Amino acid sequence: MRIIRTVAEMQQYSEEHRKAGRRVAVIPTMGYLHEGHASLIQQARKNADIAVTTLFVNKLQFGANEDFSRYPRDFVRDCTIAEEAGSDALFAPENGEMYTETFSTVITVRGISDKFEGAFRRGHFDGVATIVAKLFGAVRPHEAYFGQKDYQQTLVIRRMTADLNLGVNIIVCPTLREADGLAMSSRNVYLAPEERGKASVLHRALQTASLLVQSGEIRRQEINFSMLEVLRTVGELQIDYACAAQADTLEEPEVFEETEPIVFLIAARLGAARLIDNEVWQAVK
């Protein structure tokens, strides 16, 4: 696996493969890789000719009081996981390579980034959209792979990619979970041992909402209440939101159409960890 540190080298590497007729895929990550990231790399390797994993902890998407300084990092471990999963190259630039002293451009995706994570983490999606656009410019991929766990993020990236005519096919892969249903995340390391078993309550709440809608419930407030009831069984959990929304737009009607896809979204804090999860319900046609 080739390790690339500069944008110029990354662009040259990609251009050589593109000229040879090979499809280039990118898997953007902030590192501290786990099985979920590995599954994205493996899927990219199946679909494309060249898989490029990016590793960059993007300060622009962290708020003033968030965990940028303590975000878990282990470069050697990440290299091993990426290579074993089939990554052909690892693009790992330094901060100064991506954000020069004269850097002054920020991308804002209005509307779909305003609520849920956007409301609780002001400026977060500006940072996400900006770095993903920059990574696309460096890697110049045909397609990009993201996990469904960051559901709202995938919608923001789809919108940004389409609006700016970037020509990158966005592929969203299912969330990988631990045996008890907890969504795999680099931030799960923040959970204390006594908190780890309680964290699966998010998945149980999502399953409860899915079963409720499957039984015929289409009133948004009732669906939301069903998730909150389950989440409140863990007294230490601090709930940011537990909401049902239209899966494509994140709009929140009082009553959903019977056949439209619905996404259930949860964000909550447990000890030092902020957990997010989601599930999409789609009527069987």
Q: Which of 178, 223, 220 is nearest to 196 (CA)?
A: 178
CA distance 201 to 178: 13
Rounded mean pLDDT, 8-18: 98
203 is an active site residue: no
Model-level pTM? 0.96
The string of pLDDT tens digits covering residues 86-109 is: 999 999 999 999 999 999 999 999
Q: Work out the percent of the chain whose per-residue pLDDT is above 70.
A: 99
Q: Tell me the average pLDDT of the chain.
A: 97
pLDDT of residue 65 exceeding 90: no
Buried b (16+ CB within 10 A) or exposed e, 254-280: eebeeeeebbbbbbbebbebbbbbbbb
The string of pLDDT tens digits covering residues 200-244 is: 999 999 999 999 999 999 999 999 999 999 999 999 999 999 999
Residues 6+ apart with CB under 8 A from 265: 116, 151, 152, 241, 242, 243, 244, 245, 276, 278
pLDDT band at 283 (very low <50, low <70, confident <90, very high): confident
- Active-site residue among 17, 37, 124, 203? 37
CA atoms within 13 A on the CB side of 213: 32
Domains of the chain and CATH, by start: 2-173 (3.40.50.620), 186-278 (3.30.1300.10)
φ and ψ at 71, to 5 degrees?
-55, 130
The string of pLDDT tens digits covering residues 103-129 is: 999 999 999 999 999 999 999 999 999
* Burial class of 136 by CB neighbour count within 10 A (0 to 12, 13 to 18, 19+): buried
pLDDT band at 154 (very low <50, low <70, confident <90, very high): very high
pLDDT of residue 284 exceeding 90: no
Q: Which range among 21-30, 41-50, 59-68 shows the weakest confidence by mean pLDDT? A: 59-68
pLDDT band at 260 (very low <50, low <70, confident <90, very high): very high
Q: Which range among 107-111, 255-259, 265-269, 277-281 shows the weakest confidence by mean pLDDT? A: 255-259
Q: Work out the percent of the chain whose per-residue pLDDT is above 90.
A: 97
pLDDT band at 285 (very low <50, low <70, confident <90, very high): low
